[in-house]
């Protein structure tokens, strides 16, 4: 759906923006069209200034041309603020420090030649090399994998016309609307500066203080407090480009686009209690999963989908397509699948590749261009600036992991660690040295920016079209299944229970009242709070947005056990027929298994066969597996019943709503673990080898959620 106009969308919104007059307000009140929070200086208070001492009038908005126009380079306060933030850490990344990467390829399955000249989208069946880095955001390089956090999903495509870095996340929206607030967001979520803790956690006063004063973050908070923030594996999470980009065809006509990565094996997350225990049992859980999957030939795969729309849709959409805190529901613009991403090779050296890879949102090939999304505009400055400090100089593109795989030529020279310099006499252009004069411009195939018509005064404010902070947060919440809504309430209650100041807790609940009153009541009751008055809203909440099934993990569950892991707990003398049947059923489902035993040396089965163990019982808890089976001899079951690790194995699997298979002898363990009276449809007895296949089929939903109300105190309250 190409747009043949040169007009920036939003002329209709521009009329409403004129009404957004700025009014000086007191602490914590909303000001400006977008509803951003300003804290004005009080008499005798310290005044916010730049590093040069110049007083700052507005620390909430980047200087731009018009309310919805591009950011301006003359904004010295923004550049200084983000420049300093980019260089706070040596040599670790400030954000996304804990990452893990792999090589692979992107294969085009549906040409986009009708809407873009980008070479990577022209020829169906062609494969483009890629490198992908997954990461957490808040924790240090040495933190654990299963933090409740956003996950980075950064893809470097080495196209024929230059590198394309699609630097996304596993959540399609972000906390803030303007990049000038990014240092504040990350400062708030990082360890508190006076005590340097907590690590890789958002459950503390500073983060929730910032959130409670930044209502634009509420949509993102719904996602982060959902199970999306504790994925079971990189292989089972979505990726999003977050921003609205442009595709340009051969005539430089524009089509807006949002990018989506859809996992082939479907979405899956873990329970919060499970995440806490996984971090103790295996803090490298996600890393190990990706390493093992590629090593076994079970190559992780995603589909690349695009949402394409034109100016007419952008004008008519209920929210602003330039607002990074908003989505376009898939029911309104379906996701068109155009390719697949396959990761089929581990790195040879973690430091040289995963640690030194440099992603920059501004790295786009001809045919892909930017929108005026203010967060994207800021990222285009920040990412390049960051690499200068982290990688030591301007020549980080000389590193093999960052270098293009297509021919390239330029006149850049010297600098720290230069490995390539121009050859010959000419190191400038234009020059008159003919063929010896080096590379020349290519007006036909070179990069063209979209010729958008921008107008309006220089201003530090946000448009009125950015001012609705609650409607899509509500839409996300009502799109969840009851069990997912419960988890959001549980997460909010847990996080805020770690906040020491009651006024911060109360402010957060005042925002939740705009999302869902039942949710707000649940959190307030869980914290022992009196219900506060609703926070002031810059715009009335649209409470009848339709639910979107695409926003729910459970509604879009895979309904198959493929790619998952079964933990089989065995004892000496366990039934060989049952074990062999379980192994065959696992293989039939294209899944994998591990054997857990009292001793790492393994066990001898009933037929005399020796089975080595992958894990010792106290080193292989059930949290490491998607489902479990316990097969024991009478003597072995009695042994397990007296072992605390074995009882934990069973009780945790039950509490985390996993499917459990068991041989008859195991009832003695269940009795000692206090589970004998709670056996439900998610616990499947193995009466004989034929039951193994039925058990694996039953595991397709991945969780037996009907159990949770029986095992969770919050659900019973």
Q: Give the active site residues.
A: 96, 169
Angle between helices 76-86 and 374-390 (to 10 degrees): 40
> How far, in Å, CA of 34 to CA of 648, rounded?
51
Q: Are 556 and 550 in contact (CB under 8 A)?
A: yes
Q: Which residue stretches of 154-269 are H helix?
A: 182-189, 205-212, 218-224
Q: State the burial class of residue 24 (Cβ atoms within 10 Å of its Cβ: 0-12, 13-18, 19+).
A: exposed
- Do residues 561 and 271 make contact, with C-beta atoms less than 8 angstroms apart? no
Nearest Cα neighbor of 314 from 1, 32, 62 is 1
Question: What whole-number distance in Å separates Cα of residue 244 and Cα of residue 264?
Answer: 24
Bridge partner list, 71: 64
CA angle (526 as vertex; 170, 198 as ends), nearest 5: 50
Q: Residue 540 is encoded by which pair of tokens?
A: 């009335």
- Kind and range of the H or E run holding 104: strand 99-108
Of the candidates 116, 243, 111, the one whose C-alpha atom is nearest the C-alpha of residue 167 is 243
C-alpha of 107 from chain center: 23
219 touches 506 (CB < 8 A): no
DSSP state string for 620-633: S-GGGSSEEEEE--
* Rounded Cα–Cα distance for residues 714 and 572 (Å): 40
Vertex 171, ends 169 and 172: CA angle to 5°? Answer: 95
SS3 510: helix
CA separation for the pair 382, 392 (Å, rounded): 16
Residue 39 token pair: 């804290």
Token pair belonging to 176: 């803030």
Alpha carbon of 136 to those of 189, 229, 265: distances in Å? 13, 10, 21
Distance separating alpha carbons of residues 267 and 523, to the nearest angstrom: 27
Separation between Cα atoms, residue 399 and residue 419, nearest integer Å: 9
List, in order, residues 6 or more apart from 280 with CB less than 8 Å away: none
Give the list of residues 6+ apart from residue 443 with CB closer than 8 angstroms, or none. Answer: none
Instruction: Fill in the DSSP letter of residue 114.
Output: T
Output the CA torsion sign for 633, 639, 640, 645.
negative
Closest by CA position to 203, among listed 193, 213, 217, 188: 188
Name 339's Cβ contacts closer than 8 Å, sequence gap at least 6: 106, 107, 108, 109, 110, 303, 304
Q: How many C-beta atoms lie closer than 10 Å to residue 608's C-beta?
A: 7
Structure tokens at 545: 């947005």
- The angle at the Cα of 521, spanning 519 to 522, to the nearest 5 degrees, equals 65
- Rounded to a whole number of angstroms, the CA Rg of the chain reads 27
- In Å, what is the CA distance from 38 to each residue of 47, 209, 458, 481? 13, 14, 19, 37
Between strands 458-459 and 565-570, the pairing is unpaired
């Amino acid at each position: 759906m190409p747009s043949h106009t040169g007009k920036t969308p939003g002329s209709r919104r521009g009329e409403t923006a004129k009404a957004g007059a700025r009014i000086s307000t007191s602490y914590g009140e909303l000001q400006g069209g977008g509803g951003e929070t300003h804290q004005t200086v009080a008499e005798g208070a310290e005044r916010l200034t730049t590093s040069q001492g110049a007083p700052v009038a507005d620390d909430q908005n980047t200087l731009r041309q018009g309310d919805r126009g591009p950011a301006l380079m003359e904004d010295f306060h923004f550049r200084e603020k983000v420049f300093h933030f980019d260089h706070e850490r040596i040599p670790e990344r400030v954000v996304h420090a804990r990452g893990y990467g792999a090589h692979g390829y992107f294969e085009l399955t549906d040409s986009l030649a009708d809407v873009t000249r980008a070479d990577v989208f022209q020829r169906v069946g062609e494969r483009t090399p890629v490198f992908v880095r997954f990461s957490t955001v808040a924790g240090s390089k040495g933190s654990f994998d299963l933090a409740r956090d956003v996950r980075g999903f950064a893809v470097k495509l080495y196209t024929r016309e230059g590198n394309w870095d699609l630097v996304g996340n596993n959540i399609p929206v972000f906390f803030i609307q303007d990049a000038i607030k990014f240092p504040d967001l990350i400062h708030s979520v990082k360890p508190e500066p006076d005590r340097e803790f907590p690590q890789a956690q958002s459950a503390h006063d500073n983060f929730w203080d910032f959130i409670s004063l930044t209502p634009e973050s509420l949509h993102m908070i719904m996602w982060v407090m959902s199970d999306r923030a504790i994925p079971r594996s990189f292989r089972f999470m979505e990726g999003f480009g977050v921003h609205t980009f442009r595709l340009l065809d051969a005539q430089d006509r524009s089509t807006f686009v949002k990018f989506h990565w859809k996992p082939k094996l479907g979405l899956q997350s873990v329970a919060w209690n499970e995440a806490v225990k996984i971090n103790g049992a295996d803090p490298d859980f996600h890393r190990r999963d990706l390493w093992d999957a590629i090593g076994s030939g079970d190559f992780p795969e995603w589909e690349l989908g695009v949402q394409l729309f034109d100016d007419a849709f952008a004008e008519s959409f209920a929210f602003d397509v330039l607002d990074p805190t908003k989505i376009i529901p898939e029911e309104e613009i379906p996701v068109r699948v155009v390719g697949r991403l396959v990761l089929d090779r581990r790195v040879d050296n973690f430091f040289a590749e995963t640690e030194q890879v440099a992603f920059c949102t501004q790295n786009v090939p001809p045919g892909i261009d930017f929108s005026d999304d203010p967060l994207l505009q800021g990222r285009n400055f920040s990412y390049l600036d960051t690499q200068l400090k982290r990688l030591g100089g301007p020549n980080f593109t000389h590193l093999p992991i960052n270098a293009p795989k297509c021919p390239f030529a330029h006149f850049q020279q010297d600098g720290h660690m230069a490995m390539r310099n121009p050859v010959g006499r000419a190191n400038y252009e234009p020059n008159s040295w003919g063929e010896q004069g080096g590379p020349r411009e290519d007006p036909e195939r070179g990069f063209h920016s979209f010729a958008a018509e921008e107008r309006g005064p220089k201003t530090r404010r946000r448009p009125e079209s950015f001012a609705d902070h609650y409607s899509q947060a509500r839409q996300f919440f009502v799109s969840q299944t009851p069990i997912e809504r419960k988890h959001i309430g549980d997460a909010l209650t847990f996080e805020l229970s770690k906040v020491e100041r009651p006024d911060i807790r109360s402010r957060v609940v005042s925002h939740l009242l705009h999302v869902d009153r039942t949710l707000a009541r649940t959190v307030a009751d869980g914290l022992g709070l009196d219900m506060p008055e609703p926070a002031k809203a810059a715009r009335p909440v649209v409470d009848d947005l339709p639910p979107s099934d695409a926003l729910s993990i459970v509604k879009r569950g895979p309904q198959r056990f493929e790619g998952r892991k079964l933990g089989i707990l065995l004892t000496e003398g366990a039934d060989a027929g049952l074990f062999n049947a379980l192994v065959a059923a696992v293989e039939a489902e294209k899944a994998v298994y591990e054997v857990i035993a009292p001793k790492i040396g393994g066990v001898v089965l009933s037929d005399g066969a020796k089975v080595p163990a992958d894990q010792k019982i106290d080193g292989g808890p059930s949290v490491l597996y998607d489902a479990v089976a316990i097969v024991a001899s009478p003597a072995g079951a009695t042994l397990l019943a007296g072992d605390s690790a074995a009882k934990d194995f069973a009780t945790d699997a039950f509490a985390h709503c996993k499917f459990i298979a068991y041989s008859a002898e195991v009832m003695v363990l269940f009795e000692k673990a206090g589970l004998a009276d709670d056996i439900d449809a998610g616990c499947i007895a193995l009466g004989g080898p034929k039951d193994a296949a039925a058990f694996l089929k039953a595991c397709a939903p991945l969780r037996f959620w009907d159990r949770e109300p029986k095992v969770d105190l919050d659900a019973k309250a």
